[in-house]
Amino acid sequence: MNKKTDRSFDGIAAKFQRNIYQSSKGALRQQVLLRDLTALPLLQAPCQVLDVGAGQGQISLLLAKMGHTIHLTDVSADMLAIAAETAMAAGIAITGPAAQLSFSQQSLAELSQTAKRQYPLLLCHAMLEWLAEPQLALQQLNALIMPGGILSLMYYNKDAKRLSNILYGNFDYVAADFKVKKKVSLSPQNPLEPADVAQWYQQAGFRLISKTGVRCFHDYLRDRSQQQSHFQQLLELELKYNQQEPYASLGRYTHLLLAKAV
């Protein structure tokens, strides 16, 4: 059996931007994350933020526009290059003493070994499911956060993937525990069990502040065209119900705000 390795998106960053970030699911995810994050008291004043596995930095760029300073890290040089280009086009400083964004091409393992500081807020969105050792990642993330600081963690929800594929009639795929011969390059192949993630973050020394489902309804629509044609209504419903059960547990992704012990 081949040993699992962490995933990089060099070579397909533009495809990722087009198919994920510029789609209705990407727009919805961005709005949900922004709602959750801007409610945090620590973001009511300028804050130093670390974005691990930042990709093209959509959330970080929005936070920078609000006056926060963010360091973006990713293993993909292509992803970071797009983030930098987008920031410059938006007039966000990335060089000089007034820079609000900085970048480094590093894995989480490298970052946890070399970092010389801790942050009050750390973003880790849609990265755990691409890692070879997601449980270890929670320990590494903890080391990068100040005591009393916050981890914004979003991961691919295996329960939701199971439900949606049963509804689609993909019974063999579900019975095989989502194992396929041909991998889909933009779709995470290692969705995470929510119970496992809860155990990992507790063992790593975090406590739960809030839980939000991301795309609780979007992915289950029978008429997929409504994802675009009725986007605003769909977004309003997601924001209204996605922190209430059972909907919070049905999101294709789960967003957790976790506090590190003081």
Residues 6 or more apart in contact with residue 94 via CB below 8 angstroms: 84, 87, 88, 100, 101, 102, 103
Q: Which DSSP letter does residue 99 get?
A: -
**Rounded distance between C-alpha atoms, residue 96 and residue 93, angstroms:** 8
Nearest to 55 by CA among 10, 117, 19, 118: 10
Q: Which stretches of 39-157 are DSSP H helices? A: 58-65, 77-89, 108-114, 134-142
- The strand pair at 48-52 and 145-156 is best described as unpaired
> What order of strands is seen across the sheet that includes strand 69-74?
101-105, 69-74, 48-52, 119-125, 145-156, 253-260, 206-214
Strand partners, 208: 258
Nearest to 127 by CA among 8, 259, 17: 8
**Rounded distance between C-alpha atoms, residue 187 and residue 200, angstroms:** 23
**Rounded distance between C-alpha atoms, residue 202 and residue 261, angstroms:** 11
Orientation of helix 194-203 relative to helix 134-142, angle to 10°:
40
| Binding site per annotation, positions for S-adenosyl-L-methionine | 29, 53-54, 74, 125
What single-letter amino acid sits at 87? A
